[in-house]
Amino acid sequence: MTRFLSISSLGFLIAAVACGNNNSGSGGTGGGGAVGGGTSGGSAGMVSSGGTGNTPGTGGTGNAPGTGGTGNAPGTGGTGNAPGTGGTGNAPGTGGSATGGTGNTGTGGTGNTGTGGTAGAGTPGGSAGLSAGGSAGMGMAGMSGNAGSAGGGTVVSLPPMVTSASGGYWQTSPTLMESTGTANVTINDTAAQTWDGFGGAFNELGWHFLNSADLQTQALTLLFSAKDGANFAWGRIPMGASDYATSRYTCDDTGQDPAATSDGSNRPAADTAMANFSLARDMMLLIPYIKGAQTIKPELRFWASPWTPPVWMKTGYKTDDGSSGTAKKPSYYDGGNIVTGNTANLQAYAKYYTNFVNGYKAQNINIEIVSPQNEPGYDQNYPSCLWDKATYVSWVGILGQAMQALNVKVMLGTLSNAGDNNRSDLDISSAVLADSTAKGFVTVVGAQWGVLDKVNSGTTFGNLPVWATEHRCGNYPWCKAAGSGCPAAYNSSQAPNDQAYGEETWGYIRDAITKGKVTSYSAWNMVLDKSGLGIDTSRDWKQDALLVVDGGKVNPTPAYYVFRHFSQYVQPTAKVLTTSGGDAVGFKNPDGSIVAVMFNSGAANSSYVVAMGGKKFQVNMPSHGWATVMYKPS
């Protein structure tokens, strides 16, 4: 036997409530009244208005439909406030106590329009509490999908099921069909780790290719919108040039990139006072990119990491091309070693971080976590730096003290090298964790590439949570042919943002969550052109991305949809759930909704069944495709 459940009967909702000025308000005095009616209905105490027991859009005691108890207009509380304001200046969506400042009218503060619920963003499921449009019981803000623009969370109604495959990506269904069949996948009510969120990296080249307002809107919506996009929760910010900057620089090396010489005679002079520090370069591309994202998702959170310290803090540079040849254009930015044992340099570098964090904060971009170095065990033909264990341990201690004063946390690297060239970032992490001072400052570990593989095999870092900080970027130059660990042969003409890379993406995300028990997962380049080439001067590596700019359009790739199958539906602070059968990852959101994300590597199966929340649902699972199902038990 089967039956259909509609969106309204399930009451699906994402309510990701962020901190800021929009924290919880209490709801009136539990007023009722069906929408537009004058009788008591709905749920007592729904936080939809600030008045004296009136629910937005409801009648008071025998008032005509659409009027409020003491002459208040529909959707308002308080004493004669106009629609869009609450009892003492709260915007709709907050309750009796003023949580969004005083006198805000629909923007800023709480900024919610016509939502029910708490924390200025609305809670799911009240049968009353809609001020404008929307169906009773939907818990939505007039189907608009957005809840305010300043610090509040985002409230949207999502379809309960979506599927993707090469024949059609992001096919949504407004209903779920129950099934009595045998489950292919079971989402167990057994929690593992707590989820911190999905994200991606901001890089200069991404914004460079988004060279019109239309392209920018397309891309930022696809990446950060809770209603129409991937709903990313975190953004990674490079501190100076990454390999996908437009050119080499640090915030204390802002001039030309001089041709490196063996005697280093033209290496920039030391600047321990940070007199040359500047964020002028960041203001050109990175900060506009980030601010654009904030217009779509104001509650977006940030962490930052450098690819290289200022070049005067290093000795040497990379002279080879990584393949038994010589570097084509040696640069002081590329490779080299941190000067060992120089406390004055490290203290200056801590000031660099302080200036960076404070400078971004002045732009209303609050960096919460910093990494001491990206991949400290790799030297590359792009900005990079090798660190010895002793200096890295000292650096973490000095950096940690400086960041503690700013209430900024320290990540234990973004660790990547697990043994290449007789170096290992695991040796560096072990040294930090063995030092009581340095260990006390680190709160999370960033793992990527080889180190993430080790994490998936059981490597841990004490009790520290692990984030997967960089998704593998595909099209590997060392892969001359498929097989032997290579998913496909290298494409020298352009990045192959294809279905095969989408399937590879699925495997990396699934394994990191289910085997590595990571608590966050970040994409690398969110946006590139179809070539995918960075500023590596010696290796032709055309890397894949989530979105590709081509022909005046932003084209989502299969890998983008794999990320979105997770990130749009899974809220930060969700619990990762164990699964049985099939190829799946499960989550339980803080609002109680259960999410199953599944992949089918075989033939299409129209009778695929997932068991979750005490029910079984039938899924029309495509071949070599994905499905996300969300269900909130009553």
What pLDDT, on the 0 to 100 scale, is given for residue 455?
98
> What whole-number distance in Å separates Cα of residue 548 and Cα of residue 124?
35
What stretch(es) of the chain map to CATH 2.60.40.1180? 161-193+576-631
**Using 50, 70 and 90 to split pLDDT, how confident is the model at 254?**
confident
Instruction: Indicate whether 282 pLDDT > 90.
Output: yes
- How does strand 442-448 pair with strand 409-415? parallel
Average pLDDT of the residues in 534-559? 97
Task: Please give the Cα distance from 631 to 7 (Å, whole number).
Answer: 10
Residue indicated by tokens 């999502």: 158
Fold of domain 196-569: TIM Barrel (3.20.20)
- The backbone region for 336, taken as left when phi is positive above 0, alpha when psi lies in -120 to 50, beta otherwise, is left
Query: Residue 621's closest CA among 634, 633, 609?
Result: 609
Q: What CA dihedral angle connects 385, 522, 351 and 337, to 10 degrees?
A: -10
pLDDT band, very low/low/confident/very high, at 37 (cuts 50, 70, 90)? very low
Question: Please, which residues bridge with residue 6 across strands?
Answer: 175
Average pLDDT rounded to a whole number, residues 467-479: 97
Contact 53, 96 (CB under 8 A): no
Asked if the model's pLDDT at residue 27 lies above 70, the reply is no
> Rounded to an integer, what distance in angstroms lies between the CA atom of residue 15 and that of residue 118?
10
- Of 14, 125, 164, 121, the closest CA to residue 630 belongs to 14
Sign of CA dihedral 505, 507, 509, 510: positive
| DSSP line for 541-589 | -B---SEEEETTEEEE-HHHHHHHHHHTTPPTTPEEEEEESSSEEEEE-
pLDDT for 605 equals 97
The pLDDT of residue 153 is 55
Does residue 189 sit in helix, strand or coil? strand
Q: Decide if pLDDT at 306 tops 90.
A: yes
Residue 31, pLDDT score: 34
> 586 vs 17, 514, 567, 626, CA distance in Å?
21, 9, 12, 13
Give the chain's mean pLDDT: 82
Query: Do residues 347 and 271 make contact, with C-beta atoms less than 8 angstroms apart?
Result: no
Given a cut of 50, is residue 146 above it in pLDDT? no
At 367 the pLDDT is: 99
Taking only the tens place, the pLDDT of each residue in 401-435 is 999 999 999 999 999 999 999 999 999 999 999 99
Q: Does residue 98 carry a pLDDT above 70?
A: no
Residue 255 pLDDT: 85
pLDDT value of residue 485: 85
Residue pair 113/141 in contact by the 8 Å Cβ criterion = yes
**What pLDDT shows up at residue 490?**
96
Q: Looking at the predicted structure, is the pLDDT value of residue 64 above 50? A: no
Q: How far apart, in whole angstroms, are the C-alpha atoms of residue 293 and residue 219?
A: 9
The whole-number pLDDT of residue 484 equals 83
Least confident of 17-21, 23-27, 127-131, 451-455: 127-131
Q: Burial of 360 by CB count in 10 Å (0-12 exposed, 13-18 middle, 19+ buried)?
A: buried
- Number of neighbours of residue 382 by Cβ within 10 angstroms: 25
Q: Measured at the alpha carbon of residue 527, what is the angle toward residues 525 and 533, in degrees to the nearest 5?
A: 70
What CA dihedral angle connects 63, 66, 69 and 72, to 10 degrees? -140
pLDDT > 70 fraction of the chain, expressed in percent and rounded:
76
Between CA 103 and CA 88 the distance in angstroms is 7
- CA 236-237-241 angle, to 5 degrees, is 130
Mean pLDDT computed over 481-498: 93
Residue 472 scores a pLDDT above 70: yes
Pairing of strands 466-470, 442-448: parallel
**CATH architecture for the domain at 161-193+576-631:** Sandwich (2.60)
- pLDDT tens-digit series, residues 147-183: 233 334 566 899 999 999 998 999 999 999 999 999 9
What would the mean pLDDT of 220-226 be, rounded to a whole number?
98
The pLDDT assigned to 154 comes to: 61
Of 581, 580, 614, 576, nearest to 595 (Cα)?
576
pLDDT average, residue stretch 269-279: 97
CA–CA dist 574, 155 (Å, integer): 16
8 Å CB contact between 557 and 544: yes
Environment class of 284 (CB within 10 Å of its CB; exposed 0-12, middle 13-18, buried 19+) = middle
**Strands (DSSP E) along 313-363, which ranges?**
314-315, 337-338
- Cβ contacts of residue 551 below 8 Å, gap of 6+? none
pLDDT in tens, 115-138: 333 333 333 333 332 233 333 333
pLDDT at 224 exceeding the cut of 70:
yes
Residue 93 has pLDDT above 50, yes or no: no
Chain region(s) in the chain for CATH 3.20.20.80:
196-569
Question: For the chain, what percent of residues have pLDDT higher than 90?
Answer: 74
Phi, psi of 149 (to 5 degrees): -135, 10
The pLDDT of residue 591 is: 96
Among candidates 218, 276, 231, which has minimal Cα distance to 252? 276
For residue 258, pLDDT beyond 60: yes
Average pLDDT over residues 81-94: 34
